[in-house]
Every structure is written in structure tokens, then in C-alpha cells.
Amino acid sequence: MKKLLTLVLALVLVMGLAANASALTIAFSQIGQESDWRTANTDDVCAAIEGHEGWELVYSDGQQKQENQIQALRNFITQGVDYILFTGVVTSGWDEVLTEVNEAEIPLILLDRIPDCADKIDYVAAFGGDFPLEGRRQVQWVGEYMKSIGRDTEDVNVAIMEGTTGADAQVGRTEGNLAAMEDYPFLKVVAQNTGNFTRAEGQALMESWLKSVDKIDVLIAQNDDMALGAIDAIKAAGKVPGKDIIIVGCDSVKAAFEAIVAGEMNATIECNPLYGQFLVPTIEALEAGETFDKTIVHPDEGVFDMDGGIQVEGTVSVKAADVIDERAY
């Protein structure tokens, strides 16, 4: 009897080990936790992997530091994970470590912020925002809105609050912001600086602008968190956000919808953080032997504002109040 029990226990142990050994380990090097967008992105990607039978997540938070991410990638190689999901905090400086990932023959999937060495390395799939388009849409929204209220006959002073310097999302949105400005000569850039994609730094930057810049009519914030921080600074200075200063954010997180519905923010350009829906079928397909080319897949994205009906490149804005209840993040 005892012998049988020992045998059964040993069998259970071996089966357990085998099951574990056959689990697919998917490692994710995330950049940090700077914004509501990032939280939604982390939660969605992690839940998609952890919720999949036979898949195991290895997660690393880089805390906004490139050196932490490089270390995490090297640890993933040492551990011999099956897949690496990678979002780089900045665009440059990844050539060496991503080449090491390639040499280790671990399939690499690029997410969100795409490194500038992407054309020199191998990756099996890539999903990211169309940041130049989002940046153009921010300015187009402002330009078209100003036209719609007859404010295109005077100079309109615009402050551009940029994201983390050197991040793909900052580089692309700034490029888009400045390119679209040329179509609206009445828009004048009077301030341009980084708020690092965080609420606290957005608030601090707006505070300092309100003291140093003569007149700001419009704030273009390259994410909603900075816009929300700026709203606090504007209120503290005795001005009315959404009226005295027109505010356009980016991401379309729930808190921005709430600010728009409350009349304190005017518009937000969507950037979709929910990549789990793409990742799961992609990894399943790769496991089944399919391959993809190096195209970077951009999710479809919209624009949300106070009243709807503003035409920007590729879409027309939707009234935030009409869809706020359906927002997933």
C-alpha cells in the first residue's frame, strides 16, 4: 500500500514537472507605470497571457530606466524564455541587447514604442500606435475647432506639452504636431517642453508656463495624464480649464472622458493600449508555425470631444458623453 502511494506521489510530481516544463514562458519588459494608459496596457497584456492555458508570464517593470530594461532582457535570455514582448522607454540604444535576443533565437514581439533599430533586427510581430498621426490629429482638432467658432482670424497661442524626451510616442507626436501646424498658420507655438507623460510633471510645467508665458490659448498635451495635471494648475491659477485655455490630450483614458464631460477638457485623441487582443492570436499562430512580415500593426483609433463632429485626418470626433459608459480603461 505504502509503495503504491509513493509511486502515485512520484507520478504526480513527474507529471507536474512535465506540465510546467511544457508551459510556454512569455516574458514582458514593460517600461514603468507613468500613466493611466500604461496601467491599462500592463493590466491588459498581463491578463491576456496569464489567462491563457499553458502560458506563463514573466514580467519586468523597467521603472523608466533603459539600463533596467537591458538587464531584464539579458535575464530573459539567461532564463531561456520562449517569447519576449518588448516596449522600450526611449527609441535609441537597443541595438546591442536586441541583437543578443536575436542570437539567442528567442522570438521578439515589439509593442507600443518601437525602437529605432527595428529595421536592423529580427522580430516576429509588432504592434504600436501611429504616433505621427495622433500628433497631427491633435493639431487638426484644434485648428478645425477654432475655425468652427470663428477664432481662425486671430493668432491662437499654443503650448505643446511633450512626453518623455526620446520616447517613440514623444518623437512621433511632436513630429505630427509640428507638421500639422503648417496647415493652420493662425496657430502659433509659444511654449514647448516636456512633462514626461506624468500628471505631476504636467502640473508643474503648466504652473511654470502660467507664470512665464504671456498668453496661452490652447494646451496640446501629448498624453491625458499631463493634461489632467495641467488642469489642476490652471484651476489653481484662477483660470477656467476648457474655456480660458482649450485643452487637447492624447490616449482617451477614462479620466479624460470624465474631464471632458465635466467641461474641463475639450478633446482627446485615442491611443489604444489594449494589445492582448492582438497578442494572443499572434502567439497562437506563431506556435502553429505561421509567420508574419515586419509590418507594424496600428489599432484603429478615434477622437473624442465635448460635442462631436470635428473632422480630422481619417475620422470625425465623437461626443465623449455618448460613449463614456463603454470605455474599458
- CA-to-CA dists, residue 213 to 6, 79, 187, 190, 217, angstroms: 78, 52, 16, 7, 11
Is 71 buried (19+), middle (13-18) or exposed (0-12) by CB count in 10 A?
middle
Q: Which is nearer to ligand GYE, 191 or 255 (CB)?
A: 255
Please state the closest distance from residue 320 (CB atom) to ligand GYE, in A: 17
The residue among 37 and 209 lying less far from ligand GYE, judged by its C-beta, is: 37
What is the Cα Rg of the chain in Å?
23
Output 25 or 222, the one with its CB closest to ligand GYE. 222
Nearest CA to 52 out of 231, 252, 282 is that of 282
Comparison of 139 and 156: residue with beta carbon closer to ligand GYE: 139
Tell me how far, at minimum, the Cβ of 225 lies from ligand GYE, in Å: 6
Q: Are the CB atoms for 223 and 196 separated by under 8 Å?
A: no
Amino acid at the residue 320: A
Instruction: Please give the residue ranges that form the binding site for ligand GYE (CB under 6 A).
Output: 34-35, 37-38, 112-113, 129, 169, 197, 223, 225, 250-251, 271
In angstroms, rounded to a whole number, what is the distance separating the alpha carbons of residues 205 and 196? 10
**Shortest distance (Å) from residue 206 CB to ligand GYE:** 16
- Alpha helices (H) along the chain: 2-22, 36-50, 66-79, 95-103, 131-148, 168-181, 199-212, 224-236, 254-261, 276-287, 320-323
Residue with smaller CB distance to ligand GYE, 169 or 205:
169
Minimum distance from residue 108 beta carbon to ligand GYE (Å): 18
CB closer to ligand GYE, 77 vs 135: 135
**Amino acid identity of 40?**
A
Q: How far is the CB of 36 from ligand GYE (least distance, A)?
A: 7
Quote the DSSP letter at residue 177.
H
Residues 280, 52 contacting (CB under 8 angstroms): yes
Looking at the Cβ atoms of 25 and 268, the one nearer to ligand GYE is 268
Q: Minimum Å distance from CB 12 to ligand GYE?
A: 45
Here the cell at position 14 is 513527474
Backbone angles phi, psi at 68, to 5 degrees: -65, -40
Nearest to ligand GYE of 40, 146 (CB atom):
40
Q: How far is the CB of 269 from ligand GYE (least distance, A)?
A: 9
| b/e per residue 89-110 (b: at least 16 CB within 10 A) | bbbebbeebbeebeebebbbbb
Cβ at position 284, least distance to ligand GYE in Å: 25
Residue among 156 and 248 whose Cβ is closer to ligand GYE = 248
CA distance 138 to 146: 12
Residue type, 157: N
Q: How are beta strands 303-305 and 267-270 bridged, if at all? A: antiparallel
Q: What's the min distance (Å) between Cβ of 58 and ligand GYE?
A: 21
